[in-house]
Amino acid sequence: MEKLKLLPCPWCGETPIVNCYYNNYWIDCTCGVIKHVKCANTADAVKDWNRLNTTGKEREKIMKLFQTREVVDGMINCRKKPIIIQAKVIDEPFQVETLEGNYKTGKPGDMLMKGIDNELYICDRDIFDRTYDWIV
Ligand SMILES: [Zn+2]
Is 77 within the bounds of a domain?
A: no
Is 101 within the bounds of a domain?
A: yes
Q: What is d(CA 38, CA 21) in angstroms, rounded to the nearest whole number?
A: 10
Residues 2 and 60 reside in one and the same domain: yes
Is 117 within the bounds of a domain?
A: yes
Q: How far is the CA of 15 from the centre of ligand 1 (A)?
A: 7
- CA dihedral 56→62→67→71, nearest 10 degrees, is 150
Q: How far is the CA of 20 from the centre of ligand 1 (A)?
A: 18
Q: How far is the CA of 47 from the centre of ligand 1 (A)?
A: 17
Q: Please, are residues 14 and 30 in contact by the beta-carbon 8 Å criterion?
A: yes
Q: How far is the CA of 129 from the centre of ligand 1 (A)?
A: 33
Residue range 73-131, pLDDT digits in tens: 999 999 989 999 999 999 999 999 876 667 889 999 999 999 988 989 999 999 999 99
Residues 60 and 90 reside in one and the same domain: no
pTM: 0.53
Q: What is d(CA 22, CA 40) in angstroms, rounded to the nearest whole number?
A: 10
Structural domain boundaries, residue 59: 1-67
Domain count, the chain: 2
